[in-house]
A and B are shown apart, each in its own frame.
Chain A
Amino acid sequence: MVEFVDIALLVLLGITAFSILRQKNLFAAVMMAGIYSLLSAGLFVVMDAVDVAFTEAAVGAGISTILMLGTLALVGHSEHQPQHRPILPLFVVILTGAVLVYGTLDIPQFGDASNPAHHHVAPHYLEESEHEIGIPNVVTSVLASYRGYDTMGETTVIFAALVGVLLLLSLGPRPRRVVSNGQRISDTDSGKPVSEGGVEEAQEDTLQISPEEKTLGDTNG
């Protein structure tokens, strides 16, 4: 029964992934990506990884989809037909796939309890964590205690990503300035950003805005 569910979910995942690839409407593709995440969450439950399944369902299928939909609202949702022939990418993909399949040939069989992955530190966690940490869920005790620094590093990564997103989105297109004769025309007197200048000129220029000017530009725009 477990084998059947496993195979069925993997086949459904394959079909979903393939239809995302074929889909020209980005809105539909994002929805299919949500379905893909949810199916993989189901597969994680079948493979005993219940904590991972929660996270994948909440973060992968929920937050990712919302982020993508928000992006689509800003950038539009139709994809153009690619102009170049897909022969080179197809060749690269088939070659990589073949090498990976070759690599699986001497990998330990699925579900075998004697696999090397189960013989290093995992038995210690499974035997001792109840006495050492006192939490019945082993994943929680490893995540929060044995590998606590790892989780702290993860938090740092999320913080860095947050700062990156805020910087990228808050710079915005607002204070566009035109450079003429090497001198920058300030727009602070008029109270409105000068936006006639081409995008190319404005781009290099936004990078040179000093902090005070940027604050002014933000309050104006």
Chain B
Amino acid sequence: MTALGLFNYWAVIFLMMVGFYTLIARGNLVKKIIGLNIFQTSVFILYITMGKITGGTAPIFVEGGEDVIYSNPIPHVLILTAIVVGVATSAVGLSLVIRIKEAFGTIEEDEIQDESL
């Protein structure tokens, strides 16, 4: 798997930047939250990439497997926590979007700006 070298990291950076661009360049608030989710997932992929060992297997003990290589379990634990926290964050974000829609009648950034002037 060393043939892959840095490919995974570069793919993660590409995904991250697509999410980041969606977040800062799109005016629609729901679209921004989708962009945030893309960004989050790319960070998860980055961590899991770091935990992978070539020729390894999932870190669950197998019977009589003394010379089995297990991948690093710590990034997995961290990302399990991060996934759940990420969903909690987007839930709060989406309910803010609903409140903004109720208050301004729109979820487009520039229209909200016009209205609040």
Contact = CB atoms under 8 A, between A and B. Distances in A.
Given A49-B51, A143-B80, A56 B44 contact: yes
Main secondary structure of the interface of A (DSSP, over half): helix
A82 B6 CA distance: 35
A183 B40 CA distance: 47
Interface string A42-58: 01100111111001100
Nearest to B24: A89
Interface in B60-96: 60-61, 69-77, 79-81, 83-92, 94-96
Contacts of A197: none
Bin the interface of chain A by size: 35 or more
A216 interface: no
Most chain B C-beta atoms within 10 Å of own C-beta, residue among A30, A64, A147, A150: A64
Nearest to A159: B88
Nearest to B27: A82
Contact of A136 (B60, B74, B81, B84): B60
Nearest to A160: B88
A26 B31 contact: yes
B28 A154 contact: no
Given A68-B94, A100-B16, A142-B74, A20 B30 contact: no
Interface string A62-86: 0110011011101110011011101
Contact of B52 (A13, A110, A121): A110
Interface string B79-117: 111011111111110111111011111011011000000
Given A104-B6, A107-B9, A51 B80 contact: yes
A50 to B, nearest CB: 5
**Shortest 4 CB-CB contacts between residues of A and residues of B:** A161-B88, A111-B54, A89-B25, A48-B71
